[in-house]
Amino acid sequence: MRRQPSITRLLASAAIAALLAAGLGGCQTVSDVTGSLGSRAEPPPATPQRAAEVYGERYRANPKDAAMAVAYGQALRNNGQREQAVAVLEQATLTIPGNKTVLAAYGRALADNGNFKLAFDVLSRAHSPDNPDWKLLSVQGTVLDQMGRHDEARRYYESALKIVPGEPSVLSNLGLSYMLTRDLPNAEQALRQAYGSQRADARVRQNLALVVGLQGRFAEAEQIARADLPPDEAAANVAYLKQMIQGQREGQGKGKARNTAPMASLSQPD
């Protein structure tokens, strides 16, 4: 049986982390956390569920351990327990007041759970104007994009790029921000710059493939997508995207109010 096209990979990768990880780079993962928590010889838990169990036990044993609170919150997010992650990290901000690492994790968890306004406020407290964190600036940009405040979001991406010029994760978010307002030429320009970096990852390439495909250059989009997907899956994704665009154009021709391009859902960085 023919495998169903995973167009969601293209659309999800176009979520602004990513977007909020994976368009975002430099985001802390469970394995990143474990490297700073214990012996280097200790392997990370094998699954998100196991990580939530292990870090949960350690966090409950010492709720004032900021690193463990962050690790537990991240593990819960990775396991799909978004509301519980918010609850744990909210409590951690009360137990360990003023800890910027905990505030940053709490802000990301809030955004992941759709609490965008509060997420933006919390992230603003996780760093300061005299010591800005480019990763958090980029996350704040994705939150603003989630709220439809795209011009403001781009100012945050530009601020991040002043700190880390050419950072592909931020450029990818900027490109996707333009895509969300259907400014595809500027979206492609930013993503091309990200794509040209040696630090560009699969998400950057898939985001570029999506934007190129949305402009009708399907063969080129498929070629870009093949760098990370099996040839049949890349072809199926692009064929499905082409079908979606053609369907929308036909709908417009019949007088239906339809978007000219599928909107990407915004994603939260890890």
Fold of the domain spanning 1-25+165-270: 1.25.40
Under 8 Å between Cβ of 165 and 159: no
What digits encode the pLDDT tens for the residues 94-106?
999 999 999 999 9
From first CA to last CA, the distance across the chain in angstroms is 34
86: helix, strand or coil: helix
Environment class of 40 (CB within 10 Å of its CB; exposed 0-12, middle 13-18, buried 19+): exposed
Q: What residue segments make up the domains of the chain, in order of their start?
A: 1-25+165-270, 27-126
Q: Which residues pair with 256 in a beta bridge?
A: none
Model-level pTM? 0.78
Residue 243: its pLDDT value, please? Answer: 86
Residue 255: its pLDDT value, please? Answer: 59
What digits encode the pLDDT tens for the residues 184-214?
999 999 999 999 999 999 999 999 999 999 9
Same fold for the pair 1-25+165-270 and 27-126? yes
Q: Which amino acid is at 46?
A: A
- Distance in angstroms (rounded) separating the CA atoms of residues 210 and 223: 11
Supply the CATH classification number for the domain 27-126. Answer: 1.25.40.10
Q: Which amino acid is at 270?
A: D
> How many CB atoms are closer than 10 A to CB 206?
27
